Amino acid sequence: MNGWLPKSLRYRMLLLTMLIVSIPILFAGYEVKTRAEEALIAEKQAKLFFAARLLDTHLAQGGYQEILQEKQGLDASRDVQLHILNQALAPYTDALAAAMPGLGVGYYHRELDAIVTYGPSREYATTVGRSILPDHPGRKVMLEGMPRVEFGSLVRGNIMNAMLPIVRSGKVEGYIWANELTDDIRSQIANMNRQIYLFGALGLLVCLGLMVILTNRFVSDVETIKHGLDRMRTDLTHPLPGMTGEMGEIAAAINRMSREIQEACLLNENILFSIADGIITVDGEGRIVMINQAAQEITGYDAKEVIGRYYSEIFVAGEREFRSMLLDTLETGVSHIGVELDYPTRSGYRRISVSSSRLQGGSYENIGAVVVMRDLTEKQQLQQHALQSSRLAAMDSMTGIMNRRAFLEKLETMLKQVRSDHLEFSLAFLDLDHLKAVNDNFGHQEGDWYIRSVASLICSSVRESDSAGRLGGDE
């Protein structure tokens, strides 16, 4: 293989540059071509379904039956009904076909088993009244009640056909279609591909030309930089020696990058020890190598107590009910995100959210794992407080059952559910007799006892799924 490779570093770099530039551009061009074709097909489908939904919106809310009832054609013959429906729907079908040139659109009636309209009528009026074939995909659309896109030879010819079921009152009355000839689609795809090929070729030539120019300028001081970088792999404190020209600028940039890396390492260490989330890192054998300040506060352990010790020895030993996400990730390689659990700490269990993942070295070898923990104790307390406040706000202070606002909200919710799901439910309104007489003769304390007793009796008599509330006073 070395026999045909150029001997000069310059020309080897030129050859390598051509391969590096050409291969990605070719693959990218192919990917762009494929994605563009898919996008065009998706755009066509969206356009066809948009046209179908316009036809569905135009159709009366009561469907075909409403049109026939309005025209007094419910008891008419099949041909008369088709004529009535065609006269009512064909103008809009033709208008839509004229507004979207190249599209064929129309309605199909399931019970009459016939095409109602097919626009533009000047080309497809002869298809009105025909029944589709038994294996036509439109029958599957009407049977399943689901939209469908088909490619193939149908009534109009070779088309892409978007079919939308006509559903009224839960019943499929037929379907609407919007289609476009596949020859037109292929023609658009071919024109688009030609443009992609042209601009891809121009881009490839421009990139190759630029790479040749840039490569020819890259000549001197390569070995000096190479040796300096080799040394920096193990010691960032030794900068590259000063050089002139472009290589000098590169050397200066590398030295700056070296200093920034050192500063970034120091910054990362400071960030790890200052962020609110706890972080613990272990090596490949499960020994703790880092624990930040937040993790020390959550667990109750100082860094000097745990660094170098096995994680399982501190947090898992003796805890049979505790499953460590960190050790599971270290063993299986499976990451865990936002797992809420009770975490064993020095002072007991604390509710925390845990995320764990493996750590990989420069050669992608596994060198350990890290766990990030967030204390949920305060969040849990706030949720409990909010839940308690919500319950108190919905409770009648005297009887302990729902107050007027909460009961009316519950009743409104139930009425909506009843209307949407066609269910039945019972509503009883109770008015306590002679409450005023009890208050006048025995005092309001006895009257309140009277109300509480009746509320308690009601609660003990209804099911858990039922609701009871006090609207106010004796209601």
Asked whether 97 and 105 are in contact (CB, 8 A), the reply is yes
Asked whether 288 and 280 are in contact (CB, 8 A), the reply is yes
Q: What is the pLDDT of residue 128?
A: 93
- The region, left, alpha or beta by phi > 0 then psi within -120 to 50, assigned to residue 21 is alpha
Q: What is the pLDDT of residue 321?
A: 61
Asked whether 423 and 417 are in contact (CB, 8 A), the reply is yes
User: C-alpha dihedral over 104, 110, 115, 119, to 10 degrees?
Assistant: -30
Q: Which residues contact 223 (CB under 8 A, 6 or more apart)?
A: none
Buried residues in 397-420 as b, exposed as e (16+ CB within 10 A): eebebbbeebbeeeeeeeeeeeee
Q: CB 388: neighbour CB atoms within 10 A?
A: 10
Residues of the chain with pLDDT under 50: none
What would the pLDDT profile of 147-161 be if each residue is shown by its tens digit? 999 887 766 668 888
User: C-alpha dihedral over 435, 436, 437, 438, to 10 degrees?
Assistant: 50
| pTM for the whole structure | 0.40
Asked whether 171 and 196 are in contact (CB, 8 A), the reply is no
Q: At what angle do helices 78-99 and 63-70 cross, to 10 degrees?
A: 110
Closest-CA residue to 33 (of 180, 190, 151): 190
Q: What is the pLDDT of residue 213?
A: 72
Q: What is the pLDDT of residue 54?
A: 94
CA distances from 93 to 43, 82, 103 (A): 21, 15, 11
Q: What is the pLDDT of residue 141?
A: 94
3-state secondary structure the chain: CCCCCCCCHHHHHHHHHHHHHHHHHHHHHHHHHHHHHHHHHHHHHHHHHHHHHHHHHHCCCCHHHHHHHHCCCCCCCHHHHHHHHHHHHHHHHHHHHHHCCCEEEEEEECCCCEEEEEECHHHHHHHCCCCCCCCCHHHHHHHHCCCEEEEEECCCCEEEEEEEEEEECCEEEEEEEEEEEHHHHHHHHHHHHHHHHHHHHHHHHHHHHHHHHHHHHCCCCHHHHHHHHHHHCCCCCCCCCCCCHHHHHHHHHHHHHHHHHHHHHHHHHHHHCCCCCEEEEEECCCEEEEECHHHHHHHCCCHHHHCCCEHHHHHCCCCCCCCCHHHHHHHHCCCEEEEEEEEEECCEEEEEEEEEEEEECCCCCEEEEEEEEEECHHHHHHHHHHHHHHHHHCECCCCCCECHHHHHHHHHHHHHHHHHHCCCCCCCCCCCCCHHHHHHHHCHHHHHHHHHHHHHHHHHHCCCCCCCECCCCCC
